[in-house]
Amino acid sequence: MNNATLKKQLARSIKVVGRGNSIVPVIDNIYFKEGIMTVTNLETTLQQKVDIKEEGLILHTDLQNICKKLGNDQDVDLKFQAKSVYVFIDGVNTFKFQSDNIDDFPKTPDTGVYVGDIDGTLLRRASKYTSTDQLRLVMTGVFIDSKKIVATDAHRLFFKSHGNDFGDSAAIISASSIKCMENREYQMSELPGPCNRGYGDDDIEAMKKKGKGFQRGGYMNVAFSCQNYTIITRIIEGTYPEYEAVIPENNPISVVTKRKELLKQLELSLLTANKTTYQVVLDVNIPSNTSRNSFSASFGCKLSSEDLDFNSSFSTIIEAKVYDGQTAVDDVDLEPLKIRIGFNGQFMIKILQDLSQPQVDISMSTPDRAMILDSEVLLMPVMLNK
């Protein structure tokens, strides 16, 4: 097998394989069988197509260390005999290592029921919004339901349509599994797992034939497949929060500004923000009968921060278009608009870094309700002192 190709596959598998301190030492190995190399950490399994037909185990670190020392155009082949593995370089140089028993390697779930295609780019984006709080395990994963991909850490909420209709299917996928993916399209399938919630094999088969979804009848794994590899991950069990309840149905005020300029000013504002709350304040104050339809700094969308403990502060005016649902001929009879809303500046910066459009649309209604950026990311406000 060509070393350049093998090195790419080893680099992809390092995100999954054990690191030498695993509770189950055998998962530090790569399992080769019938042209497939498999690595697992018991939560996530990665299978890749290779030009090695032998069956056996070799430590990931051993094979990777060899490949690092070789040129990209050299060939690598493996032979397994008894409790040993032989690594041949260009058919000449030979390494010999001890090989573990293949019967000890965790079994991979069988191929399941195809659900639909899904964009790995969206899943990777959503994984940035997950929580790290292990006490709220469901929020450490990305929720895929019939229409949307959702992730939240209780301060930010990512919600975006995946462009398909998955029917009754719904699953919570761990963020660590998603980080193994690439920015490409995947075919998603549901797989029965070893923990089938009390259902027998006959029940599982019957449910598969009826097209039952992830949360129905024993589906404990999800597979994401593309041309050369498959990622299989266990579903996080539990009930995902009712995310739709926190999304405002009507945010009539919209502030449209240049994303990179806002990002720059926010980074400056954090220099004087409180180092516990990272509170930044957006003041929108538009006099009556003033145009909202062009970029202007004349009426002022002010960005400010302060740290009372150190008597430091920052303020600046950002250029923006502001829409509040009012319309009038020649800007006559327009009511004044005034709103002051606080938010965590660090969270806002991370959101802006994730977005890609030149302009960002920030919609809001009242200081105590969430803001929505570009109709796909929600940011909870920070309550201000009166």
Which pLDDT tens digit goes with each residue over 61-89?
999 999 999 999 999 999 999 899 999 99
Same domain, 29 and 66: yes
What is the Cβ-side half-sphere exposure of residue 154, based on CA atoms within 13 angstroms?
A: 9
Q: What is the pLDDT of residues 2-20, one digit of tens each?
A: 999 999 999 999 888 876 6
Q: What is the pLDDT of residues 96-154, one digit of tens each?
A: 999 999 999 998 876 577 888 999 999 999 999 999 998 899 999 999 988 899 999 99
Q: Which of 183, 168, 74, 190 is nearest to 120 (CA)?
A: 183
Q: Model pTM?
A: 0.83
- 334 in any annotated domain: yes
Q: What is the pLDDT of residues 201-219, one digit of tens each?
A: 555 455 444 444 343 335 6
Q: Which of 173, 172, 170, 151 is nearest to 160 (CA)?
A: 151
Q: What is the mean pLDDT of residues 182-194?
A: 77
What one-character-per-residue DSSP string does 172-186 give?
EEEHHHHTT--SSEE
For residue 380, give the DSSP letter: -
Contact in structure between 360 and 262 (CB atoms under 8 Å): yes
Same domain, 149 and 99: no
- 338 in any annotated domain: yes
User: For residue 336, what pLDDT is reported?
Assistant: 67
Q: Which residue's structure tokens are 């606080």?
A: 342
Both tokens of 313, joined, read 């502060």
Same domain, 312 and 203: no
Percentage of residues of the chain with pLDDT beyond 90? 59
Percentage of residues of the chain with pLDDT beyond 70? 83
> Of 104, 124, 158, which residue is a domain's last?
104
In terms of residue numbers, what domain contains 289? 248-379
- 95 in any annotated domain: yes
Q: How many angstroms separate the CA atoms of 208 and 205, rounded?
A: 5
Instruction: Identify the band that residue 266 occupies on the pLDDT scale cut at 50, 70 and 90.
Output: very high
Q: What is the pLDDT of residues 288-328, one digit of tens each?
A: 655 555 544 445 689 999 998 899 999 999 988 888 765 44
User: For residue 330, what pLDDT is reported?
Assistant: 45
Q: Which of 165, 164, 163, 162 is nearest to 151 (CA)?
A: 162
Lowest mean pLDDT of 46-55, 202-211, 271-280, name the range: 202-211
Same domain, 93 and 126: no
- 320 in any annotated domain: yes
- 386 in any annotated domain: no
Q: Which of 39, 16, 33 is nearest to 78 (CA)?
A: 33
- Interacting residues of 118 by C-beta distance below 8 A, sequence separation 6+: 144, 149, 162, 164, 185, 186, 188, 224
- 384 in any annotated domain: no
- 385 in any annotated domain: no
Highest mean pLDDT range out of 125-129, 175-179, 183-187, 305-309? 125-129
| pLDDT score of 1 more than 60 | yes
Three-class DSSP category at 60: helix
Contact in structure between 324 and 253 (CB atoms under 8 Å): yes
User: For residue 281, what pLDDT is reported?
Assistant: 96
Strand 76-81 relative to strand 44-49, pairing: unpaired
Q: How many angstroms separate the CA atoms of 224 and 189, rounded?
A: 7
Task: Give Cα 307 to chain centroid, integer Å.
Answer: 33
170 by Cβ neighbours in 10 Å (0-12 / 13-18 / 19+) ranks as: middle
Same domain, 73 and 143: no
How far CA 46 is from CA of 38, 52, 77, 245, in Å, comes to 6, 16, 21, 36
> Of 244, 262, 296, which residue is a domain's last?
244
Q: How many angstroms separate the CA atoms of 162 and 144, rounded?
A: 9
User: For residue 192, what pLDDT is reported?
Assistant: 53
Same domain, 218 and 301: no
| pLDDT score of 267 more than 50 | yes
Q: What is the mean pLDDT of residues 24-37?
A: 92
Structural domains in the chain (count): 3
Which amino acid is located at 258 in the chain? Answer: K
Same domain, 39 and 52: yes
- 299 in any annotated domain: yes
Q: How many angstroms separate the CA atoms of 67 and 4, rounded?
A: 8
For residue 48, the domain's CATH number is 3.10.150.10
Same domain, 205 and 232: yes
Q: Which of 366, 154, 373, 367 is nearest to 262 (CA)?
A: 373
230 by Cβ neighbours in 10 Å (0-12 / 13-18 / 19+) ranks as: buried
Same domain, 269 and 351: yes
Same domain, 125 and 223: yes
241 by Cβ neighbours in 10 Å (0-12 / 13-18 / 19+) ranks as: middle
> Of 45, 75, 104, which residue is a domain's last?
104
User: For residue 202, what pLDDT is reported?
Assistant: 56
Same domain, 225 and 264: no
User: For residue 219, what pLDDT is reported?
Assistant: 64
User: For residue 191, what pLDDT is reported?
Assistant: 63
Taking each continuous run of H as one helix and of E as one strand, the counts in the chain are: 7, 23
Q: What is the mean pLDDT of residues 331-354?
A: 85
Average pLDDT of the chain to the nearest whole number: 85
Q: How many angstroms separate the CA atoms of 292 and 274, rounded?
A: 32
Same domain, 271 and 237: no
